């Protein structure tokens, strides 16, 4: 059975690159009807922080990445140390003069090689790899040792991770052979670059997943955007998590770095915003906005609001633009022509009800949209909202519109 895992170190915020790694491991496991594990690599007590652990779990929850098992690496410390003893006692490792324990690299052959599921054959000249640390002087294991032992212990068959780990993989392969571990298949995915082609760095770019979520991007949009960085998913434009499982093909991962194009994310986000159900839309409304808008009909026009939003954080603003002027009951200055027009509109709609097709009745009476649009938009939303006139009638309701027209007629 295929077993994959995501193994974050809780030493910093959860970033976009890690999210992609987590998802690829998840998709690969599900595609192969295997298991997906989450292992929090919390052995570095000084740098690990519970806040970051919680952030990982929260993001897994938001993105619906269900794991079969949750493991905390620090619980395995005694096992790591047993293996360290074993390596030292068989002279495969030794304590160096300056303290750390090092693995003795065997340089009998000119190259170290292994088959990577994405990169193909990885071949590194032996003279470029020196004996490497596997534990500190206090016998706490380094990443290279603990990560490998846990993978073996949990019967992990496949590891998908960023290609900044390629040299670590070569080292772990050496260790794995020395310890007679089962073979693990590694796949290294290209790093993510910014639009200018530079490595996406925590310092120069916003890379935290939470920042994007808070900034107004939906999880579905982020999911779609991030999975496409480096893999084309059969060119299917919008996928949910189950569709992504079906069309995921790890071997089609590109070798060149993927470009983080925020415009693409904006485009995807706009698409998914328009797909929101009314009840999901409501979840984004602030309490006060909900109260204010309750006397009008939002449901039939909420998609028009979403058409005007690039981020969910803009929803409230767009709704406010609709009702704010109306609620103030202000009477704007109008000229004689406008007043005549309002009178004519009022005469016609005075006998109409909400279910009547107001716009076509007005048109039949010589008042087509192009004649009345401007004045209706002026006295209802004061040009603040660009929502179609037809939707303005629906949102406020014909009775409210009649009253509003009357305000301008009675003098």
Nearer to ligand GLU, 44 or 314 (CB): 44
Q: Does 208 bind ligand GLU (CB under 6 A)?
A: no
Question: According to DSSP H, which parts of 127-218 are helical?
Answer: 143-153, 166-178, 209-215
CB of 397 to ligand GLU, least distance (A): 56
CB of 25 to ligand GLU, least distance (A): 8
Q: Does 9 bind ligand GLU (CB under 6 A)?
A: yes
Nearer to ligand GLU, 48 or 221 (CB): 48
Radius of gyration of the chain measured on its C-alpha atoms:
31
Applying CB under 6 A, among 15, 102, 161, 171 the residue interacting with ligand GLU is 161
Q: 3 in helix, strand or coil?
A: strand
**Nearest of 269, 273, 260 to residue 207 by alpha carbon:** 260
Task: Give the DSSP H/E element, type plus range, for residue 304.
Answer: helix 302-307
Are the C-beta atoms of residues 244 and 204 closer than 8 Å to each other?
A: no
CB of 143 to ligand GLU, least distance (A): 6
Applying CB under 6 A, among 3, 7, 174, 192 the residue interacting with ligand GLU is 7
101, β-bridge pairs: 95, 135
CB of 195 to ligand GLU, least distance (A): 25
Q: Give, as ranges, the residues between 382 and 401 that touch ligand GLU (CB under 6 A).
A: none
Residue appearing with tokens 């395995």? 76
Are the C-beta atoms of residues 250 and 117 closer than 8 Å to each other?
A: yes
Nearer to ligand GLU, 79 or 262 (CB): 79
Applying CB under 6 A, among 43, 48, 146, 147 the residue interacting with ligand GLU is 147
CB of 78 to ligand GLU, least distance (A): 20
Which one of the spans 6-14, 63-71, 94-102, 198-206 is the region binding ligand GLU (CB under 6 A)? 6-14
Are the C-beta atoms of residues 53 and 259 closer than 8 Å to each other?
A: no
Which one of the spans 7-15, 212-220, 258-266, 284-292 is the region binding ligand GLU (CB under 6 A)? 7-15
Residues contacting ligand GLU: total by CB under 6 A: 8
CB of 198 to ligand GLU, least distance (A): 20
Nearer to ligand GLU, 9 or 207 (CB): 9
* DSSP, residue by residue, 338-352: HHHHHHHHHHHHTT-
What torsion, rounded to 10 degrees, do the Cα atoms 81, 84, 90, 96 define?
-130
CB of 151 to ligand GLU, least distance (A): 8
Q: 386 φ, ψ to 5°? A: -105, 15
Q: How far is CA 65 from CA 147, 173, 384, in A?
A: 21, 29, 41
Q: Give, as ranges, the residues between 22 and 61 that touch ligand GLU (CB under 6 A).
A: 41
Q: 290 in helix, strand or coil?
A: helix
User: In the complex, which residues of this chain contact ligand GLU (CB under 6 A)?
Assistant: 7-9, 41, 147, 159, 161, 165
């Amino acid at each position: 059975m295929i077993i994959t895992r995501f193994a974050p170190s809780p030493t910093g915020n959860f970033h976009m690159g890690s999210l992609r790694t987590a998802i690829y491991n998840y998709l690969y496991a599900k595609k192969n009807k295997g298991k997906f594990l989450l292992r929090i690599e919390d052995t570095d007590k000084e740098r690990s922080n519970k806040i970051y652990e919680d952030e990982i779990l929260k993001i897994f929850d938001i993105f619906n990445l269900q794991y079969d098992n949750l493991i905390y690496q620090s619980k395995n410390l005694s096992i790591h140390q047993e293996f360290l003893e074993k390596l030292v006692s068989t002279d495969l490792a030794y304590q160096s003069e300056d303290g750390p324990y090092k693995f003795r690299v065997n340089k009998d052959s000119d190259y170290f090689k292994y088959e990577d599921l994405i990169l193909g054959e990885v071949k590194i000249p032996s003279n470029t790899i020196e004996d490497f640390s596997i534990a500190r002087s206090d016998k706490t294991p380094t990443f290279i040792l603990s990560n490998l032992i846990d993978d073996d212990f949990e019967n992990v068959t496949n590891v998908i991770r960023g290609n900044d780990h390629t040299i670590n993989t070569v080292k772990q392969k050496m260790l794995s052979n020395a310890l007679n571990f089962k073979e693990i298949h590694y796949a290294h995915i290209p790093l993510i670059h910014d639009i200018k082609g530079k490595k996406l760095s925590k310092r120069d770019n916003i890379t935290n997943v939470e920042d994007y979520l808070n900034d107004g991007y939906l999880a579905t949009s982020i999911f779609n955007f991030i999975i496409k960085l480096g893999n084309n998913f059969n060119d299917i434009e919008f996928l949910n998590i189950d569709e992504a499982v079906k069309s995921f093909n790890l071997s089609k991962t590109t070798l060149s770095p993927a470009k983080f194009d925020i415009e693409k994310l904006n485009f995807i986000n706009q698409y998914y915003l328009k797909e929101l159900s009314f009840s999901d839309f409501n979840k984004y409304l602030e309490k006060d906005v909900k109260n204010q808008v309750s006397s009008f009909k939002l449901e039939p026009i909420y998609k028009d609001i979403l058409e005007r939003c690039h981020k969910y954080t803009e929803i409230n603003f767009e709704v406010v633009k609709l009702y704010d002027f109306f609620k103030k009951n202000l009477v704007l200055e109008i000229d004689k022509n406008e007043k005549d027009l309002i009178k004519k509109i009022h005469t016609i709609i005075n006998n109409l009800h909400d279910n009547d097709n107001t716009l076509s009745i007005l048109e039949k009476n010589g008042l087509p949209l192009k004649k009345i649009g401007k004045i209706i938009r002026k006295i209802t939303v004061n040009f603040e909202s660009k929502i179609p006139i037809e939707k303005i009638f629906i949102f406020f309701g014909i009775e409210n519109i009649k009253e509003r027209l009357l305000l301008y007629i009675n003098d």
